[in-house]
A and B are shown apart, each in its own frame.
Chain A
Amino acid sequence: MIKVTVNGVTFEREVEPRLSLADFLRHELGLTGTHVGCEQGVCGACTIILNGDSVRACLCFAVQADGCEIETVEGLGTVDNMDPLQQSFQAHHALQCGFCTPGMLMTGVDLLRKYPLATDAEIREGLSGNLCRCTGYEHVVQAIRAVVEANNGG
């Protein structure tokens, strides 16, 4: 039996040891916003925040999250009340198919917390663990840049 808190809600579930945290969130808790793209930690679509740090949910087993706090894309903002990063993604057209987007957002959240992101090169470097095939990254970089500037009072 594991006990995890996801987006502020605590769940207790019986899990098989090999169940990935991504599959647990998606199929046991029904939080399908976290996407699975490669199951080898390369694409970044499954990125979530575990105890305050971004991690790959495909490289973690659900049993390991016992007692942990998790944030997923569902915890950021709602359709009617998106958070500033989500709003910036929409304003800058930083998503097309939307499959990589939850991972991009959760990586963005951690990058914004941890790095100054003073240059576009730094933003690109920070995003380089999240693959996107639709946008060519240009608008994603612009969306994050806008949030950095807003946070800096710009």
Chain B
Amino acid sequence: MVVEVGEAEARPKIIGARVQRVEDPRLLTGHGTFIDDINLPGTLHIAFARSDYAHARITRVDTADAAAMPGVFGVFTASDISDLFNPIRATSRMADYHATELPVLAGSKARFVGEPVVAVAAESRYLAEDAAEKIYISYEELGAVVDPVAAAEPDAPVLHDDVGSNVILTRTFMRGDVDEAMASAPIRVGDSFRMHRKTPTAMENRGYLADYDQGRRALTLHSTSQVPGIVRDALVEMLDIPGNRLRVVAPDVGGGFGGKGALYREEVLVCVLARLLGRPVKWLSDRMEDLMSTNQAFDERIEAELACDEQGHILGLRAEVTGDVGAYSAYPWTATVEPVQVVSFLPGPYRVPHYRGRVRGVTTSKAPMGAYRGVGRPISTFVMERLIDMAAAKLSLDPLEMRRRNMVRAEEFPYKAASGIVWDRAGFMECLDAVTERLDYQGLRESQAEARERGRWVGIGLASYAELTGLGSRIAVAPGMPVNTGTESANIRIDSSGAVTAYFGIASHGQGLETTLAQVVAEELGVRVGDVEVIHGDSAIVAHGTGTYASRSAVLAGGAAIMSARAVREQVLKAASHILEADAGDIDAANGKIFVKGTDKSISFRDLARAVYSEMGRLPREVREDIELEATRTYDPFFGTATPATHLAMLEIDPETYQVKILRYGVAEDCGRIINPLIADGQVHGGVAQGIGAALMEEVVYDDAGQILTASLMDYVVPTAAEIPSMEVIHLETELPNNIGGFRGMGEGGTIGAPAAIANAIADALALNVNELPMTPERLFRLVGKQQE
């Protein structure tokens, strides 16, 4: 059921309409196809024996009892499979970065609790788990590496002997002479900030099903992947199977948030075993495995200091960042992806004349750090926005005014930020104004003052930021990687029945791209949304495509859709011009009909396709041969585009229990030309909810021995409907970005702004510094207690 827009003959505005999603009917009726909904006959199920130790030498593995269990087809250790694939490491040309090998099974050493050591293949998951319990592994402990600061010391136990140090990356961003600027500044504020470790927790756990066709020597991997193209290319190298016989398909995927945007060892393993055993092999993560082994995020320590003049104008900013990157450098993004973004985005949407951000990434015996929604920017925004508020407080300046004085203004674009990022013209100040006007910031301040007089702890927090989205080839998502993330392709085809199919290299997993890309194609081609079938998430359908991550799909795939649809439309008009005997320039297409403007002469896409493909003789041969109702185009936005936003949170803290209740929440953001406001709202809501989780609840905890304490959903606390407030979302469209669709990426933003806005609101309510997130009731209790002492 699709909402139709506009009159039959008029050119409808499909881009920008609140079109209901085409994905929904199947997902609402239980007819989606998620990874575990695919059942191939003869499938073997994998369970792992995973390391119980944070950092230990594996001295002996006894699999005899397990192998003898009923229903067990095979038990595999690292040495059993080491000859069956080529090893892989996440390389980068970035200086001062050292790649670590990503083993499939831990061989001589285990480096975090939950690392897979032995795999059992059995007739069912139940039997596989029975056997996994009978695997006996002897370990010799090598000392857990839990604290990244201690791990960076020369005498710390080293996780990767071939690297020789736990510090696997260092980088510095600089502008001007920050030390000089700080030394002479009248106002300085600073603190040690800490953002704790988080995990994406998509509702669907990861899962992989490999199917090897022995006759064709062809492998199909069904994977809950956001990046099937990247996985395909990596597996081609690892398995020595050419890409035309190695296909990676993402079925319906139950959320990712970055956690499914990397190559995982379990997906390599099922491929290796499927080829070895000649049967389909499936591994489905359970929730405990997900919480222990899916790439995690955040976990950054930041020493930061901001200087400004007496009017609040920023003079300088400096920061030292230590990123806890976990046990391995995740493929393909490398361990640089998050820590480096913290320092490259730290200056925020502000004019910062002098800057130095230094970062180091340190391996620890924890699950690897990967790319999670917002990547680095939730942390940089938390720190910078706290510093802005701290400076405002010191100057007795309203936080809103402090931001106005420093934010990049309309006339300053394009603006080169202190870390080198170039912001194109976007509604930085407009977002700040819009959200504070819509929620009546002054009115909120007055009601806050009233509440405070009655002893209530009410606070208001602002958070402004800009992210760089829709990155083209000039600005890679993670610089120096051997993966091109700067282009996407689309293939659009009208078949002999007149139906339109659009193939993409992206992999929608909740973003609704089957709908938004259909809107783009429909508008450009002149058909209805329901006439376009969008196919995605399959490495075999376009020559190159990397997937859905980094707020890129609307910009890149949307751009490729426009280019290909325009190319097909030209062909359609050419054919129609012969059939309708009119000049192509007088012909238009809308709502699935091709017509001569101002006349009643028209033809449907179906009849046009029949004329081209089937009814030989309707078009002269030379005309037919010149018409190709199909086009493939690749779009490269070359640079990226800024997506700015300001969040506003008003909350109340119970002065006795320290429970935080969010009273108001507003977001104003500029994502350029909106394809579907319904979907854009949903992206913001979901992002904010995850940001609220990061601000108040969600935390992966490892103890001193490197044991993970949050391996269940009782202990890893994600917000429910009862903790998330209603939100107001304002979409602004200032100047359209310089890309073909005028789109800006917006999938991650909510998660970037919310932690900072809430931290600022809590600090405002308590008149205390908040330098650590999540601010759990326990931490609030201690924070307030410390002040009262």
Residues of B within 8 A of A56 (CB): none
Tell me if A138 counts as interface (CB < 8 A to partner B): yes
B724 touches A97 (CB 8 A): no
- Residue from A27, A33, A91, A121 having most chain B Cβ neighbours under 10 A: A33
Alpha-carbon distance A42/B687, docked complex (angstroms): 21
Most interface-central of A32, A76, A90, A93 (chain B CB within 10 A): A93
Q: Which of A121-139 contact B (CB under 8 A)?
A: 121, 123-125, 127-139
* Interface check B686, CB cutoff 8 A: yes
Kindly provide the distance from the CB of B50 to the nearest chain A CB, expressed in whole angstroms: 17
Nearest Cβ in chain A — how far from B45, in angstroms? Answer: 11
How distant is A142 from chain B, measured CB to nearest CB, in Å? 9
Judged by DSSP, the binding face of A is loop
Cβ A99 vs Cβ B1 within 8 A: no
Interface residue? A110 (CB, 8 A): no
Count of CB-CB pairs between chains A and B under 8 Å: 188
B724 interface neighbour in A32, A33, A74, A136, Cβ under 8 Å = A136
Cβ of B386 to closest chain A Cβ, rounded Å: 24
Contact of B36 among A32, A73, A78, A134 (CB under 8 A): A32
Q: Is B377's beta carbon under 8 Å from chain A?
A: no
Within 8 A of B (CB), among A29-72: 31-40, 42-43, 45, 72
B1, B29, B682, B750: the one contacting A74 at CB < 8 Å is: B29
User: When chains A and B are docked, how far (Å) is the Cα of A134 from the Cα of B334?
Assistant: 26
A73 to chain B, nearest CB (A): 4
Of the listed stretches B152-160, B161-169, B579-587, B714-722, name the one at the interface; the rest are far from the partner chain.
B714-722
Residue among B30, B687, B727 making CB contact with A33, cutoff 8 Å? B30
Contact B254 A97 (CB under 8 A): yes
| Contacting residues, chain B, for A82 (C-beta < 8 A) | 25, 28-29
**Alpha-carbon distance A90/B20, docked complex (angstroms):** 6
1/0 contact string of B254-272 vs chain A (CB within 8 Å): 1101000000000000000
Smallest CB gap from A103: residue in B? B203
Do the beta carbons of B687 and A136 come within 8 Å of each other?
A: yes
Does A89 interact with chain B (Cβ within 8 Å)?
Answer: yes
**Cα–Cα distance between A108 and B645 once the two chains are bound (Å):** 34
Question: A37 contacts B287, CB within 8 Å?
Answer: yes
Q: Does B681 contact A (CB under 8 A)?
A: yes
- What separation, in Å, do the CA atoms of A146 and B253 have in the docked complex? 28
Q: Residue A79 at the B interface, CB < 8 A?
A: yes
Question: Which one of B88-96, B506-514, B646-654, B761-769 contacts A?
Answer: B506-514
By beta carbon, the residue of chain A nearest B257 is A133
Let me know if A131 and B28 touch, CB within 8 A: no
B718's partner among A31, A127, A131 (CB-CB below 8 A) is A131
The smallest beta-carbon distance between A21 and chain B, in angstroms, is 14
CB-CB under 8 A from A136, the residues of chain B are: 682, 684-690, 724, 727, 750
Q: Contact partner of B510 among A35, A43, A98, A127, CB < 8 A?
A: A98
Contact indicator A96/B682 (Cβ below 8 Å): yes
Q: Of all chain A residues, which has the CB nearest B680? A: A93
B29 and A32 contacting across the interface, CB-CB below 8 Å: no
A129 touches B720 (CB 8 A): yes
Contact, CB under 8 Å: B255 / A133:
yes
Instruction: Give A1-43 as 1s and 0s: 1 = Cβ < 8 Å from B's Cβ atoms.
Output: 0000000000000001011000000110001111111111011
Q: A37-B287, A98-B254, A99-B255 are in contact. Are A140 and B721 (CB under 8 A)?
A: yes
Tell me whether B293 is interfacial, beta carbon within 8 Å: no
Q: Does B150 contact A (CB under 8 A)?
A: no
B20 cross-chain contacts in A, Cβ below 8 A: 90-91, 93
A-contacting residues, B273-302, CB 8 Å: 286-287
Interface membership of chain B positions 682-703, coded 1 if the CB is closer than 8 angstroms to chain A and 0 otherwise = 1011111110000000000000
What's the minimum C-beta distance from A106 to chain B, rounded to whole angstroms? 10
Q: Return chain B residues, CB-CB under 8 Å to A35.
A: 34, 203-204, 254
| Given A93-B678, A135-B685, A136-B687, residue A36 in contact with residue B36 (CB < 8 A) | yes
Q: Are B685 and A139 in contact (CB under 8 A)?
A: yes
A99 touches which of B21, B254, B686 (Cβ 8 Å): B254
Residues of A within 8 A of B257 (CB): 133
| Per-residue interface assignment for chain B, residues 6 to 35, with 1 indicating a CB less than 8 Å from any chain A CB and 0 otherwise | 000000000000001101111111111110
- B720 neighbours in A (Cβ, 8 Å): 124, 127-131, 137
Give the contacting residue for B727; candidates A38, A133, A138; CB below 8 A.
Answer: A138
A33 touches B31 (CB 8 A): yes
- Residues on B close to A: CB < 8 A? 1, 20-21, 23-34, 36-37, 39, 126, 200-205, 252-255, 257, 286-287, 509-512, 678-679, 681-682, 684-690, 712-714, 718, 720-722, 724, 726-727, 750
Residues of A within 8 A of B (CB): 16, 18-19, 26-27, 31-40, 42-43, 45, 72-74, 76-80, 82, 86-87, 89-91, 93, 95-102, 105, 120-121, 123-125, 127-141
Apart from A79-B31, A99-B34, list 20 A-B contacts with CB within 8 A: A16-B126, A19-B126, A26-B37, A37-B203, A40-B287, A42-B714, A43-B287, A45-B203, A72-B30, A74-B31, A90-B1, A90-B28, A97-B203, A97-B510, A105-B28, A127-B721, A132-B203, A134-B682, A137-B724, A139-B682
Smallest CB-CB A-B distances: 3 pairs:
A33-B30, A99-B254, A98-B27
List 21 A–B pairs whose Cβ atoms lie within 8 Å, in order of A's numbering. Answer: A16-B126, A42-B712, A42-B714, A73-B29, A77-B29, A78-B29, A86-B28, A86-B29, A93-B678, A95-B24, A96-B512, A96-B682, A99-B202, A100-B203, A129-B720, A131-B203, A133-B200, A134-B255, A134-B686, A136-B682, A136-B688
